[in-house]
């Protein structure tokens, strides 16, 4: 850890440990979700267990419409979270190789490959639970074309029914009335399908309650993201935000979800009051673009921390929704706001230049010194065109920009030594630029 700090930090502040209350709560919630899914699986095996869920539906994270599932007591299965868990538990490679054996290309998105191999193996999760067969494959095509393939493959190999929710890509700031009408019609079609598979009638008032719970959690989440404007920043807005995304997508629309975000908000509020940053001596504030390398999650995080760098905003934490710019689900217009969420308020369905604008805004309003682009091979949604993004930020806007490549699932694309060199060189230069002198010999 570099010792020097040119900003005279508060010396008596204790260093914050990576693991806060938030992390423990998150773990508890995610475990519970896996147990609930396991309950559905057991029921499918003929064990007549008491469970509250009426089945499970697979859907994708981006612009997810979890509220609709909750309205029918259906549990979500997120194949992406499954893939992420495999990577972070360092099991991904085994499944990636299996996927390649059945014909998946080394160049296909690793998330899909790991999840499909996991499914074909009929394996247990890291928590020794099983994922049930979905009652429905809800292919919410919100930006990522790879989703479509993923769900076609799930349908091919599981035989589960497939419903496609085709969300037109956002080409201007507001969707056209035709785009909105198209999405609304499909939502209504989907409701009919969900009624059938759950055996439950659609109740708009129930959905209003759920949407109102979503809005409460979203309010806290937005305020949490706002805390990251503080110096020092009380949490890691890339790494910790990633942790918070689990509850955000799985538990939105439930009292547990609200509670999680309320408690997390309080935890960070305390830190703000005491002036405690997540990085012991905050020296650099950065914005991060694209997903993290899950197989090297901690190692990658250390590259930031060891330089006293803290992420204050990240685009990846917005794949499932963007709430820091005022959007909320609306109990007065539950279906309309679900449509708007999918169409406009998530990073995946917004066009590439809108992403540039979002990053610019982060850099300005969250007072960042630099941009870090972690270009992942798997995910072209993020990475296709990253060279242009680098060019725009570093040359046109003159913002220090670090561009590094690896992958979010496949450990073979991460080279620890090389990555460290790139980070060290970048922060050394940034240090010079920000503080006017270098800290020779202390870096990293």
Distance, CA of 414 to CA of 229 (rounded, Å): 31
Per 3-state DSSP, what percentage of the chain is helix, strand, and coil (rounded to 5)? 50, 10, 40
Query: Cα dist. 48→33, 40, 437 in Å?
Result: 19, 10, 69
Nearer to ligand SF4, 58 or 378 (CB): 378
Number of residues that bind other proteins (CB under 8 A): 53
Q: Which residue is nearest to ligand SF4 (CB)?
A: 379
141 binds, among other proteins, ligand SF4, none (CB under 5 to 8 A by kind): other proteins
Interface residue with other proteins among 11, 14, 48, 103 (CB under 8 A) is 103
> What is the C-alpha to C-alpha distance for residues 196 and 190, in angstroms, rounded to an integer?
10
With CB under 5 to 8 Å by kind, the binding choice for 125 among other proteins, ligand SF4, none is none
Do strands 162-166 and 75-77 pair parallel, antiparallel, or not at all (unpaired)? unpaired
Q: Does 111 bind ligand SF4 (CB under 6 A)?
A: yes
Site for ligand SF4 in 39-68 (CB under 6 A): none
Under the criterion CB under 6 A, does residue 249 sit at the interface with ligand SF4? no
Q: Would strands 284-289 and 370-376 be described as parallel, antiparallel, or unpaired? A: parallel
Nearest residue (CB) to ligand SF4, 65 versus 233: 65
Nearer to ligand SF4, 80 or 410 (CB): 80
Binding mask 181-210 for other proteins (x = CB under 8 A): xx--xx--x---------------------
CB nearer to ligand SF4: give 168 or 336: 168
User: To the nearest whole angstrom, how small is the minimum distance from the Cβ of residue 370 to other proteins?
Assistant: 20
Within its chain, how far is the Cα of 78 from the centroid?
Answer: 12
Instruction: Say what angle helices 239-250 and 204-227 make with each other, to 10 degrees.
Output: 170
CA–CA separation, 304 and 297 (whole Å): 11
Closer residue to ligand SF4 (CB): 287 or 348: 348
59 near other proteins, judged by CB under 8 A: no
**Nearest Cα to Cα of residue 315 among 353, 349, 345, 359:** 359
Which of the stretches 259-267, 308-316, 373-381, 424-432 binds other proteins when contact is defined by CB under 8 A?
373-381
| Residue 61 CB partners (closer than 8 Å, separation 6+) | 78, 80, 81, 245, 249, 319, 320
Give the nearer residue to other proteins in terms of CB position, either 230 or 390: 390
Q: Name the residues that contact ligand SF4, by CB under 6 A.
A: 80, 109, 111, 144, 146-147, 378-381
């Amino acid at each position: 850890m570099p010792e020097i700090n040119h900003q005279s930090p508060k010396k008596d502040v204790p260093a914050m440990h990576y693991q806060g209350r938030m992390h423990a709560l998150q773990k508890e919630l995610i475990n519970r979700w896996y147990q609930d899914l396991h309950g559905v699986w057991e029921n499918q095996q003929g064990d007549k267990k008491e469970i509250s869920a009426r089945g499970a539906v697979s859907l994708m994270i981006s612009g997810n419409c979890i509220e609709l599932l909750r309205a029918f007591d259906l549990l979500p299965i997120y194949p992406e979270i499954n893939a992420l868990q495999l990577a972070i538990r360092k099991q991904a490679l085994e499944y990636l190789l299996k996927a390649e054996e059945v014909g998946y290309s080394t160049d296909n998105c690793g998330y899909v490959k790991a999840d499909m191999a996991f499914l074909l193996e009929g394996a247990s999760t890291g928590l020794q639970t099983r994922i049930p067969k979905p009652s429905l494959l809800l292919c919410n095509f919100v930006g990522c074309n790879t989703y479509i393939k993923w769900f076609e493959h799930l349908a091919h190999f599981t035989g589960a029914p497939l419903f496609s929710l085709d969300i037109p890509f956002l080409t201007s700031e507001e969707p056209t009335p035709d785009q909105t009408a198209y999405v609304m019609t499909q939502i209504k079609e989907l409701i009919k399908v969900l009624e059938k598979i759950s055996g439950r009638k659609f109740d708009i008032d129930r959905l209003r309650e759920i949407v109102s719970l979503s809005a409460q959690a979203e309010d806290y989440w937005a305020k949490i993201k706002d805390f990251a404007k503080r110096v020092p920043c009380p949490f890691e807005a890339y790494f910790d935000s990633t942790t918070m995304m689990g509850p955000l997508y799985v538990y939105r629309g439930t009292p547990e979800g609200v509670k999680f975000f309320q408690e997390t908000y309080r935890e960070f509020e305390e830190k703000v009051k005491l002036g405690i940053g997540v990085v012991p001596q905050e020296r650099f504030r950065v914005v991060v673009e694209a997903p993290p390398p899950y197989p090297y999650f901690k190692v990658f995080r250390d590259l930031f921390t060891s330089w006293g760098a803290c992420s204050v905003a990240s685009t990846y934490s917005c794949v499932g929704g963007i709430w820091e710019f005022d959007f909320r689900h609306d109990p007065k217009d539950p279906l309309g706001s679900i449509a708007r969420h999918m169409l406009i308020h998530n990073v995946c369905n917004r066009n590439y230049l809108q992403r540039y604008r979002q990053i610019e805004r982060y850099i300005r309003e969250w007072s960042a010194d630099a941009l870090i682009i972690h270009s992942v091979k798997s995910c072209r949604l993020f990475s296709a065109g990253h060279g242009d993004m680098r060019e725009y930020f570093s040359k046109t806007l003159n913002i220090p920009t670090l561009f590094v490549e690896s992958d979010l699932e496949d450990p073979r694309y991460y080279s620890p030594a090389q990555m460290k060199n790139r980070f060290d060189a970048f922060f050394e230069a940034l240090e010079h630029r920000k503080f006017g002198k270098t800290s020779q010999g202390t870096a990293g």
